[in-house]
Amino acid sequence: MSKVGIPQGTRDFSPIQVAKRSYIFETIKNTFLKYGFQPIETPTMENLSTLTGKYGEEGDKLLFKILNNGEFLNKVDKTLIDDANYNKLVPALCDRGMRYDLTVPFARYVVMHLNDIQFPFKRYQIQPVWRADRPQKGRYREFYQCDADVVGSNSIMYESELIQIYDQVFQKFGLNVTIKLNNRKILSAIATVAGIPNQMMDMTISIDKLDKIGLEGVKNELLNRAISVQAIDIIIDCLQINDLGILKTKLENSEEGMLGISELEKAISMSGITHNKVEFDITLARGLNYYTGCILEVKANDVEMGSIGGGGRYDDLTSVFGLKDVSGVGISFGADRIYDCLEQLDLFPNNNINQTKAIILSFDYVSFNKALELSQKLRSEGFNIEVYPEGAKFPKQMKYTNDRNIPFAIIIGENELTNSEFTLKDMDSGNQESLDISQLIAKLK
């Protein structure tokens, strides 16, 4: 007998959880489609060589690798085993690994299918990824990413579309959010103005921690990274600016800075979002160093939670696979955190959760046959209908209906058979009424 359990960091999803997650994925997907994004899917398994070296040394460790099938030792040099030389042993034992994110497979896809793609290529991808991270609250070893990217165009219109997509998706969820924007060119200009153009990454990494360590903490970080006090003063001064107009006066001598500001202004104005959902945040840095233009991040206003979305513009997606000059801009939704937000704020729509509209209950062979007939009629009208199988006692049938949270029970008893009527019981209120078939259909609608 096998012991029953699932691997650490993985999850089963119950019917209610699947329904809630589908609601999130469908909302995001439909908004992607509304803007002409097209879906692709890539395999769970990639060649290990496609994945290795793309996520840094730490990332390589967190890849899940798939053991070669058959007599896998035949290909392995035994000294690697004796020396416990894991760096060489893993690729000898494993030709394949599991998808770690959606960006690298997307880059690989673009290069492999170049001739079939029309640029600008607007693709979305909603698929699970796997990471051997230490599991903790809100962090799983299997989780979904929801990405949209446009590659092959520099138009800032796409930044504005992605801002609109964030706005519309979270509006549909009923979630109040702030879309924070910044531009890597502005950060780079600040580094230049502060006289440390070559330490821009050091500066960015420090700024990225502002939320956690505060301004004083950032100062100390910068000092520890051997940045001069004068430079730090300029940086800290800039970090307190939250108005693009004022920033312009600070960066007026930096062509790069002025370009970054103008890109931001364009993106915001084209998005047409005037209310205060979109916010310039000069302290927004985002760790990933492949971003080169606008960067975005979404925070929920009414609940304590890390960012629930993020993205930005990059200059180079595919050169690691031999294709230069593929630039683009993309965003991602954090589905698991969004789930937690909607749960905490009780924002999941009720009617989405239990997809069965009604169950038909019967008492004997004759009423059961009537139930079968009625079920087909109601299903053909578009309702999701369950029939309780013949022969169970009524309390048992009601208990099942209750436990399953089915909103309506349709009861066929002796009276109902004689009068060609049905009793509709609203399980929430407990109210019952006698209805003929057309009234029943109207009521269920």
- Per-residue binding string, a copy of itself, 95-114, x by CB under 8 A, is xx-x---------xx-xxx-
Helix (H, G, I), strand (E, B) or coil at 11: coil
- Exactly one of 101, 265, 364, 386 binds a copy of itself (CB under 8 A); that residue is 386
Does residue 69 belong to the site contacting a copy of itself (CB under 8 A)? yes
Does residue 404 belong to the site contacting a copy of itself (CB under 8 A)? yes
- Exactly one of 403, 418, 429, 445 binds a copy of itself (CB under 8 A); that residue is 403
Residues 6+ apart with CB under 8 A from 246: none
What is the footprint of a copy of itself within residues 225-254 (CB under 8 A)?
A: none
Q: What's the CA gap between 349 and 438, in Å, rounded?
A: 28
Instruction: Give the shortest CB-6-to-a copy of itself separation in angstroms.
Output: 6
Does residue 313 belong to the site contacting a copy of itself (CB under 8 A)? no
- Number of Cβ within 10 Å of residue 196's Cβ equals 22
Instruction: Give the shortest CB-238-to-a copy of itself separation in angstroms.
Output: 31
Nearer to a copy of itself, 13 or 394 (CB): 13
Q: Is the peptide bond before 349 cis (omega within 30 degrees of 0)?
A: no
What is the footprint of a copy of itself within residues 125-164 (CB under 8 A)?
A: 128, 130, 132, 141-142, 153, 155, 157-158, 160-161, 164
Does residue 44 belong to the site contacting a copy of itself (CB under 8 A)? yes
Rounded to whole angstroms, what are the CA distances from 420 to 367, 368, 410, 416? 11, 14, 13, 5
Rounded to whole angstroms, what are the CA distances from 347 to 25, 118, 226, 335? 15, 38, 48, 14
Does residue 64 belong to the site contacting a copy of itself (CB under 8 A)? yes
- Exactly one of 56, 58, 67, 249 binds a copy of itself (CB under 8 A); that residue is 67
Instruction: Give the shortest CB-116-to-a copy of itself separation in angstroms.
Output: 7
Does residue 383 belong to the site contacting a copy of itself (CB under 8 A)? yes
Closest CA to 242 of 333, 178, 304: 178
- Per-residue binding string, a copy of itself, 5-24, x by CB under 8 A, is xxx--xxxxxx--xx--x--
Give CA angle at 21 (17, 26), nearest 5°.
145
Closest CA to 286 of 222, 229, 205: 205
